[in-house]
Amino acid sequence: MHTIRNYIMAESLEQAWELNQKGRNNIIIGGNLWLKMGRRNIINAIDLSSLGLDKIEEDEGGFRIGCMATLHDIETHEGLNKEFQNLFKEAVRHIVGVQFRNCATIGGSIFPKLGFSDVLTAFLACDTQVILYKKGEVPLREFIYIPTDNDILTHLYVKKDGRKTAYESFRMTETDFPTITCAVAKIQDSFETVLGARPKHAEVVVDEVVADAFSSEEVADYAKRVIGKLQYGSNIRGSEQYRKQLSKVLIGRCISRLTEE
Ligand SMILES: Cc1cc2nc3c(=O)[nH]c(=O)nc-3n(C[C@H](O)[C@H](O)[C@H](O)COP(=O)(O)OP(=O)(O)OC[C@H]3O[C@@H](n4cnc5c(N)ncnc54)[C@H](O)[C@@H]3O)c2cc1C
């Protein structure tokens, strides 16, 4: 359990950012679900919920998602799920329960780059920009390699670019942390694959391959190449070898969903 000395409702992003620069014991708070599992002594917990950052706004080019929007908001957003073939609905539906998903935020799910994250896996399957208060716009695919600092994630912007996506995960029981997460995007005639919980944070492999008329041998070859480009490890949920085997199966399932029409 953590302790919080001062709970501050930020009146502006500038105030929140300034407080957040004052050392490790000052912290931005999202839904407080992951944070409360730790044992930190927090001096200032900075709450962004009065800054109107909980909206999902759709425009011609994409979706602008505020950091305080919840996992249940992306699970139930009609436009977002229609555009990406229920990617977000599928990615978050195993995360604990609806009450939990009504509290867990997008900022708290993306900023810490959690190694098991279904949410990170799903957003990496799209062309997603992370909008940071000081650094500005950074592609999510670059953000995952930037060391975590004291900036504030204000929004994500997910571009509509006509890609088709499919999501699969494997967990030991319905609401456990995933043993492996997998999302595949079909962009015109090529695929991009995201694999997470390996047990490292999700990463994307772009491997140019023609998507039409894929035989099962070609799918297996593709999966082998993708898996070979990523680092895997072992933990209580599974060995490296087991995770590689699961990845092969999940990539195959995603590709068959994307190519059957
Ligand atoms: C029991 C349990 C089971 C879970 N299972 C899964 C699962 O199966 N799959 C999955 O994908 N996820 C899972 N999660 C993670 C969950 O989905 C959320 O990602 C997590 O709780 C963080 O969201 P939060 O809003 O609670 O963030 P918080 O706990 O409030 O914050 C987490 C971190 O993010 C920082 N932060 C928050 N918002 C911002 C911001 N806007 N800018 C900068 N930094 C910010 C905080 O300072 C903190 O360091 C699980 C979590 C728990 C507690």
Q: What is the tens place of the pLDDT at every residue in 158-184? A: 999 999 999 999 999 999 999 999 999
CB of 243 closer than 8 Å to CB of 180: yes
The two beta strands, 41-47 and 26-29, are parallel
Q: What is the extent of the structural domain holding 203?
A: 164-259
Structural domain ending residue among the three candidates 110, 143, 159: 159
- Please tell me the distance between residue 104's alpha carbon and the centre of ligand 1 in angstroms: 6
Residues 194 and 230 placed together within one structural domain of the fold:
yes
pLDDT band at 259 (very low <50, low <70, confident <90, very high): confident
CA distance 122 to 117: 9
CA distance 65 to 119: 13
The total of structural domains in the chain comes to 3
- Please tell me the distance between residue 215's alpha carbon and the centre of ligand 1 in angstroms: 39
Indicate which atom in ligand 1 lies nearest the CA of residue 120. 11
From 35, 36, 148, mutation site for ligand 1 pocket: most ligand atoms within 8 A of C-beta: 35
Residues 172 and 235 placed together within one structural domain of the fold:
yes
Residues 109 and 182 placed together within one structural domain of the fold:
no
Res 35: pLDDT:
93
Kindly tell me the sign of the dihedral angle through the C-alpha atoms of 225, 228, 231, 236.
Answer: positive
CA distance 137 to 129: 6
Residues 135 and 88 placed together within one structural domain of the fold:
yes
Q: How many residues make up the chain in this entry? A: 261
Structural domain ending residue among the three candidates 109, 135, 159: 159
Residues 64 and 130 placed together within one structural domain of the fold:
yes
Structural domain ending residue among the three candidates 140, 159, 178: 159
For 15, the token pair is 């105030």
| Neighbour order of strands in the sheet with 3-9 | 3-9, 41-47, 26-29
Q: Whose CA is nearest to atom 20 of ligand 1?
A: 34
Indicate if the pLDDT at residue 188 is higher than 90.
no
Residues 147 and 109 placed together within one structural domain of the fold:
yes
Q: Whose CA is nearest to atom 51 of ligand 1?
A: 34
Indicate which atom in ligand 1 lies nearest the CA of residue 175. 8
Indicate if the pLDDT at residue 261 is higher than 70.
no
Indicate which atom in ligand 1 lies nearest the CA of residue 30. 30
Question: Mean pLDDT throughout 16-37?
Answer: 94
CB of 47 closer than 8 Å to CB of 15: no
Q: Which residues form ligand 1's pocket by a CB distance below 6 Å?
A: 27-35, 37, 67, 71, 94-96, 104-105, 107-109, 111-112, 116-119, 152-153, 177-178
From 13, 43, 89, 105, mutation site for ligand 1 pocket: most ligand atoms within 8 A of C-beta: 105
Residues 117 and 134 placed together within one structural domain of the fold:
yes
Per-residue model confidence as pLDDT tens digits over 120-157: 999 999 999 999 999 999 999 999 999 999 999 999 99
Res 207: pLDDT:
81
Residues 61 and 144 placed together within one structural domain of the fold:
yes
Measured CA to CA in angstroms, residue 42 lies from 23, 86, 121, 154, 207 at distances of: 10, 38, 29, 21, 44
CATH number of 61's domain:
3.30.465.10
CATH number of 236's domain:
3.30.390.50
